[in-house]
């Protein structure tokens, strides 16, 4: 199965090390205006939090399973943002909006040859002066930390293995889930993901002429260094 099928049901549980609160504080400081788009919204953590702040936000994602989780999470939080199944390189809201986000690796799923199209598309639906905030797992993280390592989690109802195979432009990831049924028997499911290790320069080149930008090391909000694991950009539509 290709990415975010089986993972969707366990995604929020497995994402304990991502600083959503820190991200939201940054968004609170940076984004202005009422209407926005959360690209590659996944289970909708950011979409829902922005909706709870009174924003009119659309969450767009390719995975029907992740969108299913997003709808459940939003309803549980008492909000009802619009979720749309769409490719982030082509999705456009009906009219121009005030901000966009693409949080936690969404851009690592975009093929290098599609980076320019991704930014051209976002530029088309963002108003002049609109902020676009997004991040990537850095080349350093994908090649040196994830590399060819295997990670695992073991819960009562789930045992999860994450096996990585690097290639020149990124990492192929195989996720294996052993899911415990009510009868105590385990079912095995696998899915594959490909994350691309974009160079900072490639991303900035793809934005040039459409956005002004500033890049940060997400963990320090200081300058990006050779061991930065997550690079965050705060951009403004020109």
Ligand X SMILES: C[S@@+](CC[C@H](N)C(=O)[O-])C[C@H]1O[C@@H](n2cnc3c(N)ncnc32)[C@H](O)[C@@H]1O
Sites of contact with ligand X (CB under 6 A): 4, 40-43, 45-46, 61-63, 66, 87-89, 103-106, 109-110
Q: How far is the CB of 142 from ligand X (least distance, A)?
A: 13
Q: How far is the CB of 204 from ligand X (least distance, A)?
A: 20
Identify which of residues 47 and 228 has a Cβ nearer to ligand X in the complex. 47
Identify which of residues 163 and 194 has a Cβ nearer to ligand X in the complex. 194
β 230-237/211-217 pair status: antiparallel
Q: How far is the CB of 218 from ligand X (least distance, A)?
A: 12
Q: Residue of minimal CB distance from ligand X?
A: 42
Helix then strand then coil, % of the chain, to nearest 5:
30, 35, 30
Identify which of residues 40 and 97 has a Cβ nearer to ligand X in the complex. 40
Beta carbons of 94 and 84 less than 8 angstroms apart: no
- Secondary structure element (H or E) that encloses residue 200, with its range: helix 200-207
Q: Tell me the CB-side half-sphere exposure of residue 100, using CA atoms within 13 A.
A: 31
Q: What distances in angstroms separate CA 215 from CA 130, 135, 146, 236, one per listed residue?
A: 17, 9, 22, 12
Identify which of residues 68 and 180 has a Cβ nearer to ligand X in the complex. 68
Q: What distances in angstroms separate CA 81 from CA 4, 36, 43, 122, one per listed residue?
A: 21, 11, 12, 19
Q: How far is the CB of 155 from ligand X (least distance, A)?
A: 19
Q: How far is the CB of 39 from ligand X (least distance, A)?
A: 6
Q: How far is the CB of 103 from ligand X (least distance, A)?
A: 4
Beta carbons of 120 and 210 less than 8 angstroms apart: yes
Identify which of residues 91 and 211 has a Cβ nearer to ligand X in the complex. 91
Compute how many other C-beta atoms are within 10 angstroms of the C-beta atom of residue 48. Answer: 26
Identify which of residues 133 and 207 has a Cβ nearer to ligand X in the complex. 133
List of residues 6+ apart from 179 with CB closer than 8 A: 6, 157, 158, 186, 187, 188, 189
Identify which of residues 42 and 81 has a Cβ nearer to ligand X in the complex. 42
Q: How far is the CB of 212 from ligand X (least distance, A)?
A: 23
Q: What is the DSSP letter of 145?
A: I
């Amino acid at each position: 199965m290709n990415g975010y099928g089986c993972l969707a049901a366990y995604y929020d549980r497995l994402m304990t090390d991502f600083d959503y609160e820190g991200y939201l504080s940054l968004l609170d400081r940076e984004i202005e205006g009422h209407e926005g788009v959360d690209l590659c919204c996944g289970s909708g953590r950011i979409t829902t939090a922005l909706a709870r702040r009174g924003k009119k936000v659309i969450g767009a994602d390719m995975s029907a399973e992740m969108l299913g989780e997003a709808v459940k999470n939003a309803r549980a939080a008492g909000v009802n943002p619009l979720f749309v199944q769409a490719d982030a390189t082509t999705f456009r809201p009906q009219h121009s909006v005030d901000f966009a986000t693409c949080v936690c690796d969404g851009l690592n799923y975009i093929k290098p040859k599609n980076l320019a199209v991704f930014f051209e598309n976002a530029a088309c639906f963002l108003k002049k002066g609109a902020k676009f905030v997004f991040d990537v797992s850095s080349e350093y993280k994908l090649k040196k930390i994830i590399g060819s390592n295997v990670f695992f989690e073991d819960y009562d109802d789930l045992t999860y293995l994450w096996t990585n195979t690097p290639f020149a432009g990124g990492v192929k990831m195989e996720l294996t889930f052993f899911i415990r049924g009510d009868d105590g028997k385990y079912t095995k499911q696998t899915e594959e993901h490909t994350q691309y290790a974009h160079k900072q320069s490639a991303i900035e080149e793809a934005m040039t002429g459409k956005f002004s930008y500033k890049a940060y090391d997400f963990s320090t909000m200081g300058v990006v260094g050779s061991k930065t694991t997550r690079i965050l950009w705060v951009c403004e539509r020109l």
